[in-house]
Structure 1
Amino acid sequence: MAAPRFRPIEECATEGRSRQTVAADLDGTLLLSRSAFPYYLLIALEAGGLLRALALLASVPLVYLTYISVSEPLAVRTFVYIAVAGLRVSDVEAVARSVLPRFYAGDVHPEGWRVFRSFGRRCIVTASPRVMVEPFARAFLGADRVIGTELEVDGSGRATGFVAQPGVLVGEHKRQAVTREFGDALPDVGMGDRESDFDFMSICKLTDRIVPVAIATKESMFHGSTVRGLKAMDPYFFFINPRPTYVITFLDQLPRELTCGGGKSPVEVANYVQKLLARVLGFECTSITREEKYGDRRSRVASNDDGPGEANSVST
């Protein structure tokens, strides 16, 4: 089965959200930019000086290579170390209060903000250090809670350059952080921008208005569906086909009795919809989990016996 497909933010309704809770990622979701590098650079320059900023700038090619070939958490750890190691946390906080908000404000995603502000309770969950984003998130975006990567601080109040447990909030760590923060009262809606956000988005409650959408790809020469290779190359191989085609089938909306509102659990809803899509696409569901299929916990986003991860791929 394909990875979960979530609705574009432009299609998210804002009516009747005043009593609901949203958990949203920051970069690429509430901000237009998908990269937090410019803000790390400002921290390095304003709190650490020109040499530190130049060192951070020089590290970009290596960090980018690490991001696409090794892991996103390691890339974030590298930026964090170069940007803040040895700095007083109070200096980082001062820059976050006085300098960063001006630049964050100019980068706000209009559609993300339109949806985010419609909720009565707002939470931001991000891989960036919490101390770096919290002043802006609370004062300008009206966030009630800010969950971010925590810096490790020594006894003198200086950042060691390392991150505290549970580590960089990416993928499963982000999901676990949201679960710890909210317990059983999970957010009603999750907002994210990349595949590593799928984990935390899928612990959010499901809508009762579910319209399954089956998407099949038609290829004649090259197959963009690698399992253990570089997934970023899949679209490239798909589109170099002479006539690449998507076949999209909109199914009927699920009756209420087959949704959470009708008494079904999120897992039951997800599994039912998965079987429905499989039947339309000509697939057969198995008990193999995504972790077993890909052999990589970092890429796990959904499976039949691994919680309701697949459900948001078909929610309206």
Structure 2
Amino acid sequence: MEEALLKSSSLFPYFMLVAFEAGGLFRALVLFLSYPFVCLFSKEIGIKIMVLICFCGIKKANYRPGRSVLPKFLLEDVGYAGFQVVMRYKKKVAVSDIPNVMVEGFLRDCLDVNAVIGRDLKVVFGYFVGLMEVKRDINIVMNEIIGKENMNPLLVGFGSSSQKFISHCKEVYLVTSAEKTSWQILPRGNYPKPLIFHDGRLAFRPTYSATLSMFVWLPFGFPLSIIRMFVAVFLPYKVAIPILAFTGMVGSLSRQHSIDPTIWEAKTRGVVYVSNHRTLLDPIYISLALMKPVVTVTYSISRISELLSPLKCIRLTRRDREKDLKMMEEILSHGNIVVCPEGTTCREPYLLRFSPLFAELSDDIVPVALDSKVSMFYGTTASGHKTLDPLFFLLNPRTIYNVKFLEKLPKSHSCTSGELSKIEVANYVQNEIAKALGFQCTNLTRKEKYMLLAGNEGTI
């Protein structure tokens, strides 16, 4: 796999992802400091050292980066030329020098590979010990796969120079490191399957130099994140906005010509602002754009995040629809409300299915299109500690938030005054926000996201 598919010749970024996401900051630092010495050894010994550092003591049942984190970064390193050769064939066998738990999810789920010949890790009492099992004879393994997958015994080999593997091939394509330097990266539009969900905290490809930048930044980033949090929570909006922008948290605001947040101030009921969900800070940025506080409703939020929020957060039950609706109507009778009907965040340019509950609340519905960019850390997670979401977002050297207020829904497109059902209203709002952002709509839900990334239904 490494020789045939990936443009980069360095495996360090993938081991760093495992060390950071599965083992934490200290393990990542150990790998970073050890890597110059790893480079002094052969490739095989170097891999064994990195496997020991990254996996020793990790509980097998809790290990998820192989399916939730690594596929994104591996896809972004796939060479277009190698991809075209591999995808010509219906049945594919991948050979890798790194552990199966790092690449099998990517190869099977993203590239539809039938079988993976990699290295298994030793497990003792449910924990990885950081050692790889002895390599099995490739002739025996290939014969087993050919029989199991009902393959032609004469294969086409690409990338591998192993004599034992070549003996099973009628044709062999080899690629040199010099040739790979001219490869183009696989365009996102050519991915076999759309990349919609992924997890992990690192928002950059952790090459050695980029990882160095991260460790240099962290001593400055931690105090800066505390300052940013203090400014956002305790200072007036007019004072907080320029200070936050000065520290690197910039944003943009745009409104449709007829949208003026003051036109409903005389109304007895508030306005329902319906937005897509990018991060935990979505309602805060909407509030900053309006220059006044709003109440936000959420399906799940950690207690720490709720306490730190400068806005009032109301937790919905999710299971009792009537109770949730009454709660939201009570809030709306006293002021404006922000609703994120996706129910969970999505990092990629896709919108998840909108829950139609908001459509029954009011005729005064304003869609809000949000997009955010981070430079170092994601402020969202499915399988990690959600209490750290605000910290990781504020740790970024630079963040960009774009807030766009769309046209208020016309009466004909409301649930109470028009002829549309609540589901049709929700779909209409989803489509309007998607068009404003250039995103794609999906029917995927919070449950599907969490089952894929965390193996649970996403309850906190």
Question: Could you tell me the TM-score, scaled by structure 2's length?
Answer: 0.35
More relative contact order, 1 or 2 (CA 8 Å, 6+ apart): 1
Question: Could you tell me the TM-score, scaled by structure 1's length?
Answer: 0.49
Determine which structure has more spread, i.e. the larger CA radius of gyration: 2
